[in-house]
Structure 1
Amino acid sequence: MADRIALVDDDQNILTSVSLTLESEGFEVDCYHDGEAALVGLARRPANLGVFDIKMPRMDGMELLQKVRGQSQMPVIFLTSKDDELDEALGLGMGADDYITKPFSQRLLLARIRAVLRRASDGVMKTSGPNIIRLGELLMDPDRHLCSWRGTEVKLTVTEFLILQALASRPGMVKNRDQLMDAAYGESIFLDDRTIDSHIKRLRRKLRAHDSDFDQIETLYGIGYKYKTSSS
């Protein structure tokens, strides 16, 4: 059975183009123009994943997610037009599974949707295997986009996970912003350098919520970032 996606955005062009792309990839899509319509529709016909714009009339994406969380744990990807909107959303602790900043590529959205669905379908953290990354207290399962620190799962978005994976897979090696951008978004996506800095800030915040002494991600000013080993 095909996965059902609830697409919520007040921009008809986005609804049309994204729904056509998702349907061509085998997904079933329900489109809603605002949060209130989506809330009613999801109560009648649940979805496997929601893609919510943040800024919408009547009920925005953050309020919609809050209400959805009272009914189900359906994974949600936010669409946001500005980084400060994202900071506001994360500050509320709504628990979105990932986010994409507009304008975005259809290929990127498809990759994020598949990654989030894969993570939601199998939430078991493996402790061994060819793709497992283990660095001291850090454990990462790339196949399921799951991360833990000191045995406790750390809830990362797919974007945050991919950046941490790029750093942790080559501990001690410096990654510049372009390399981290390619790892998280793909080589054909061009974003402002500040985007990576914002992601690193959020990564540190989430890991320090589990360990206030976490300092493994080191900034090399004017160069980039690295994941420190015990000897670096």
Structure 2
Amino acid sequence: MDTAPKRILLIDMDDILRRTLAEQLSAQDGLRPFPVASGEEALAHLAMHGADAALLDATLAAQGLIPALRAGGLSGPLLLLLPVGMGVPIGGDDHLTKPIRLGTLLTRLKALLNQTDTQSASAGMDDILSLGPYRFLPAAKRLETLDGTRIRLTEKETQILNHLCRRGGTAPREDILDGVWGYGAGINTHTLETHIYRLRRKLAAGQPLVMRIEGGYRLATAPVPA
């Protein structure tokens, strides 16, 4: 079992917030923050040392940093820190609005890390499944169409689809939240709906993949081995 601290890349232009969060995260068992102030510093650190997750100022995310981080090797969860009133950039796995409450941040971050570890170790992540007109490759975090077009998935989009596949194609909303984010039933959050909405946007020109049903979601077609 890996007991090494999780490396958290903390990317924020606000010096005070960055230092404060770094101090608070350093005091937590199992977390090791690496604070940087810019995208350039973040990419340089990622290339040299890697990271298990990232906390990212949404202002930098809106400037195109998320694809650069993913291309630079960040495969773990990415939690966006949003200024008040700012929309949520595409590509994050979860988000919090500033000012940041440490308890909420730790809950969300640890849930993301735990679920990433669980999903990576779970059976089926190396399988390739057919979902109607798509081939689903969980380990590669992508869908492929019959003509070979590749559609990149975020960590959470991958986990949502994988969770539905492991449930036979249908799951209650609370079950998905608990299985993918680690949230208990009754949590008031639109995180799941936001991720499914963005997945649908990616597939706008293709056949719908995830459909809303009463109390939950289902895949448009049953998963079968490719």
TM-score, L = length of structure 1 = 0.62
Note the alpha carbon deviations across 1:24-50, whole angstroms, 9 max, x for none.
54x764213x33xx6347547744246
2:163 equivalent to 1:166: yes
Shift, 1:198, TM fit: 1.4
Structure 2 match to 1:69: 68
- Aligned residues of 1:19 and 1:31 also touching (Cα < 8 A): no
2:111 equivalent to 1:99: no
C-alpha distance in 1 between matches for 2:175 and 2:43: 39
Structure 2 residue aligned with 1:16, among 23, 31, 35? Answer: 23
C-alpha distance in 1 between matches for 2:118 and 2:136: 14
Shift, 1:202, TM fit: 0.8
Distance change (3 Å), C-alpha of 1:39 and 1:139 = same
Distance change (3 Å), C-alpha of 1:64 and 1:29 = farther
Between the two proteins, the alignment pairs up a number of residues equal to: 196
2:31 equivalent to 1:31: no
Q: Any gaps of 5 or more consecutive residues in structure 2?
A: 97-103
Shift, 1:201, TM fit: 0.6
**SS of match in other structure, 2:203:** helix
Amino acid at match of 2:35: C
**SS of match in other structure, 2:190:** helix
Amino acid at match of 2:142: C
- Aligned residues of 2:58 and 2:83 also touching (Cα < 8 A): no
2:36 equivalent to 1:53: no
Shift, 1:193, TM fit: 4.3
Report sequence identity in percent: 21
2:111 equivalent to 1:108: yes
**SS of match in other structure, 1:154:** strand
RMSD over aligned Cα, in angstroms?
A: 4.0
Shift, 1:214, TM fit: 1.3
Shift, 1:114, TM fit: 5.8
Note the alpha carbon deviations across 1:185-213, whole angstroms, 9 max, x for none.
014486434222211111111123xxx13
2:154 equivalent to 1:157: yes
C-alpha distance in 2 between matches for 1:84 and 1:171: 39
Note the alpha carbon deviations across 1:126-174, whole angstroms, 9 max, x for none.
xx997443333333344x252223243321111111112222334553x
Distance change (3 Å), C-alpha of 1:136 and 1:64 = closer
2:141 equivalent to 1:146: yes
Structure 2 match to 1:93: none
Amino acid at match of 1:224: G
Structure 2 residue aligned with 1:215, among 208, 211, 222? Answer: 208
Q: Any gaps of 5 or more consecutive residues in structure 1?
A: 91-95, 119-127
Amino acid at match of 1:51: A
Structure 1 match to 2:220: 228
Task: Compare the two structures and name the one with the higher strand fraction.
Answer: 2
C-alpha distance in 2 between matches for 1:200 and 1:41: 28
TM-score, L = length of structure 2 = 0.64
- Aligned residues of 2:11 and 2:42 also touching (Cα < 8 A): no
Distance change (3 Å), C-alpha of 1:196 and 1:82 = farther
C-alpha distance in 2 between matches for 1:113 and 1:172: 20
**SS of match in other structure, 1:214:** coil
Shift, 1:5, TM fit: 4.8
C-alpha distance in 1 between matches for 2:83 and 2:177: 17
